[in-house]
Amino acid sequence: MLGAAANGRVDDEALSRRGVRLGLPVLYKSSFKSSRQPKAIHFTASSEGASYSVGLFNPLDKPEPAWRFKTELLMEGENKLVGRSQRLKLHLDPRSGYTALKAVELQEESLAGRLLKDLRQFAIFAPDTATLRGLDTDPQSREPVGLSGGRLAEAVNGVFGRLPLLHHDHMVRELYESLLNLIDWADFLAATSPDSVPVSKNIPQPTRILRFRDRFMAEGRDYLSGYDASEGVLYVLFMTVLVHHRESPPVLAVDNFDHALNPRLAKELTRKVCEWMIARQDRQLLLTSHNPLVLDGLPLRNDAVRLFTVERSNRGKTVVRRVEVSQELLDMADKGVPLSQQWVIGTFGGVPTNI
């Protein structure tokens, strides 16, 4: 919602492009019993030195295709760059964002300009196996990879480039080797032309195709395509692309990122993604998971890596809490109860209380 607002329009088209599950405006607002709710909903995002806030409204009884802008505020330090409210009487189109219009006057590399740019590019990725394999068309194609995983081979090629690069670029080679360590059966992978690997004629042929060499198979019959590889490998490559591709959004989310992964692979991939992200420091990644072993891969002593639980209170309200490394958690870990088990037994919440 906030990213669409920063881009100047909030409607189903704008939200769908960002990976939002669409619903009626009434479902976007709280509706608790015996509780009066404000007509508008408000969002704020801030970065170091800048912030953007917006209030959006859509009538419950007669919902409109586009949400109306009630308030907007763009700040850079103590300076108000853009302000909008009903009191100002600006006579603006209520369905068009004033901040998006004024953004053309900002320096692109200013603190406020960078914040708006990051928000506009935000998207929620939710890969599925058929799209990762190239069997289904991605409904939301974008650079470097679609929201459902479309054009994965092209994106992998964008990360690793031509194979000779591996011998000359130390960082790319190191990433390549760490990726193969996550895929225990392969000793080679690349994105190549379709005619370089055997593929059924019944499968659509893209411009690039993933190619793996199985180290256990006999020479001459040891190459597999992305259509034949396990789905877990494709999800590992997908996460690698989102972290390392130069065209990836600076702020992005992945829904159920551990989907289709072996539990131990999910733990190790989590550890690797955190390691990569800490080294880069130019992206913010939001991940959701229902796999307890993912927690054991989180280096929570590093403040750049944060764990939150999301649950409903006894009144039905959504509550988000940060799980910080406490002495209690450390003591239980020393006694052989890792973070994954502590989550399952309910030590720090995030689990249903009636099950």
pLDDT at 8: 96
Query: Rounded to the nearest 5 degrees, what angle is found at the Cα of 305, between the Cα atoms of 302 and 309?
Result: 125
pLDDT at 27: 83
pTM of the model: 0.90
Domain limits of the chain?
Answer: 2-119, 125-305
Residue 1's nearest CA partner among 102, 59, 93, 69 is 69
Point out the residues of the chain with pLDDT beneath 50: none
pLDDT at 352: 80
DSSP 206: -
Q: Answer whether 325's CB lies under 8 Å from 342's CB.
A: no
The residues near 156 (Cβ < 8 Å, ≥ 6 apart) are 189, 190, 191, 208, 210, 237, 240, 241
Measured in whole angstroms, the distance separating CA 210 from the mean position of its chain's CA atoms is 23
Summarised one tens digit per residue, pLDDT across range 238-249 is: 999 999 999 999
Give me the CATH code for the 125-305 domain, please.
3.40.50
Rounded Cα gap, residues 118 and 113, in angstroms? 9
Question: Pairing state of beta strands 209-214 and 186-192?
Answer: antiparallel
